[in-house]
Amino acid sequence: MNTAELLVKCLENEGVEYIFGLPGEENLQVLEALRDSSIQFITTRHEQGAAFMADVYGRLTGRAGVCLSTLGPGATNLMTGVADANLDGAPLVAITGQVGTDRMHIESHQYLDLVAMFNPVTKWNSQIVRPSNTPEIVRRAFKRAQTEKPGAVHIDLPENIAAMPAEGMPLQQDSLKRSFASPRNLEQAAEIISQATNPLILVGNGAIRANASEALTQFATELNIPVANTFMGKGVIRYTHPLALWTVGLQQRDYISCGFDRTDLVIAVGYDLIEFSPKKWNPDGTIPIVHVGAEPAEIDSSYIPKTEVVGDISDSLIEILRRADRQGKPDPYGVELRPQIRADYEEYAKDEHFPLRPQKLIYDLREVLASEDIVISDVGAHKMWMARHYHCDRPNTCLISNGFAAMGIAIPGALAAKLVYPDRHVVAVTGDGGFMINMQELETALRLGVAFTTIIFNDGGYGLIEWKQQQYYGEASFIKFGNPDFVRLAESMGLKGYRVESSADFMPCLKTALAQDVPTIVDCPIDYKENLMFSQKSGEIACIN
């Protein structure tokens, strides 16, 4: 047995199902070891796509997704997806090939110090220099990747070490024990919550990772406290719940901003500062905060909790609920916002304008998809509309790259989502700019027999940047480009393509696309004049007295 074969045995021991990546000279030993493995190696068309697939796999399963590259440019191509996973709290293990240790002291073809390079974008990384250390390095990598807050780790394997004889066995996985908050902090939190007049819950992705949806819904319902979620906290509480105030995190003011203006307590549950900076909703640091999370609060001048309840989130919420008493308290101000928020959402339900307004497209998308279906949003102007208008009944049914905000995630992410949930509809929502970054992975999906639908918000430019330029300078520059005929492009790849020709055309096109057994593309002209109109409207939002 050589080191590469021992590495693969260790990966099998960790329960790895897939490795996403590209073959190369310096990972030949690993690829050979995978030939007889239970792990399926998925050959992608670009290392960035491989990393995004591992990223989304990790977010959906809680188990580290694995991606593999060769050295040099293969490794640098991985970095965007690795950084995205790390900032968004997705467990991921990146494995790179490397030159032999006998070539590292001199200038060598394609050699980069990958351990140094990956250090800023990972929780931990290491190079295997002794074959016998492989089991320890792999076990530590997976433990670090999957332990709260999850993130990316990196293992670098020089080609001469990969070929060396190795002895050893995979290490047994140690079970992580639940930790519980201190009774004193639970009492403090309950007292603060009981005394608040206008409390507001801000829930983030940590509550999804902790499977705390049921406990959060019970907590909010019994204490009558409205709930706002971050982009990454969608679905923790059903969007149809009477206390759900939907999503915060837009750079403009929105109706929910009024709730933060009036609140006298924010209960932050599973909230990570990177999801929505507290300087946006608590700029003066004057709003009292109760922090409920699996980890202590990060340091920020606008986020200084009155108390921190650190431990298992579900247990903490139930224990606070047992101790809190809000009997006789009037409805918090946030409850009054819901009709206004709902009316704004319904405004475009019957809109016939074409090209489609983003609000109408997203409203219809929500009408077509079932509650368990999954949407992966790319980054661009459409992301802001998806964040604001696409609402969820279940956690992890709308995934948005938020911390790193990386364009190109939607198509490879949708492929990974369909592997995890083959019986659900999966939709990649992307702009025409984001589509062209990783559209090559549609061939990967076709080759694997993985069918999902990609909706292209087609405006012939970088819409989000145009939005910003118009806001700052009153005009736009350097953002327009040409596009191929997306329908013919799809057909040339063996896919099926559809072009939306009217507002009424979108839903039938989408339903037809979702029914196919190959990947599909829906090309939808979009009217982004709504961007500036929303910016103007947001500045005029008046809070209910």
In the prediction, which pLDDT does 533 show? 79
> What is the residue type of 156?
D
Kind and range of the H or E run holding 318: helix 313-323
Q: Which two tokens stand for residue 522?
A: 């829906």
Q: How far apart are CA 327 and CA 48, in angstroms?
A: 53
The reported pTM is 0.96
Give the SS3 label for residue 430: strand
CA distance 60 to 53: 11
What's the confidence (pLDDT) of residue 69?
97
Cross-sheet strand order for the sheet of 40-43: 40-43, 18-21, 65-69, 92-98, 152-158, 124-127
Q: How far apart, in whole angstroms, are the C-alpha atoms of residue 351 and residue 372?
A: 26
d(CA 500, CA 509): 7
Domains of the chain, CATH where assigned = 3-163 (3.40.50.970), 183-335 (3.40.50.1220), 347-536 (3.40.50.970)
pLDDT tens across the length of the chain (545 residues): 999 999 999 999 999 999 999 999 989 999 999 999 999 999 999 999 999 999 999 999 999 999 999 999 999 999 999 999 999 999 999 999 998 777 777 677 777 899 999 999 999 999 999 999 999 999 999 999 999 999 999 999 999 999 999 999 999 988 777 899 999 999 999 999 999 999 999 999 999 999 999 999 999 999 999 999 999 999 999 999 999 999 998 877 888 888 899 999 999 999 999 999 999 999 999 999 999 999 999 999 999 999 999 999 999 999 999 999 999 888 888 888 899 899 989 999 999 999 999 999 999 999 999 999 999 999 999 999 999 999 999 999 999 999 899 999 999 999 999 999 999 999 999 999 999 999 999 999 999 999 999 999 999 999 888 888 988 898 999 999 999 999 999 999 999 999 999 999 999 999 999 999 999 999 999 998 888 777 777 656 667 66
The whole-angstrom separation of Cα 42 and Cα 57 is 13
How confident is the model at residue 538, as a pLDDT? Answer: 65
- The SS3 of residue 204 is coil
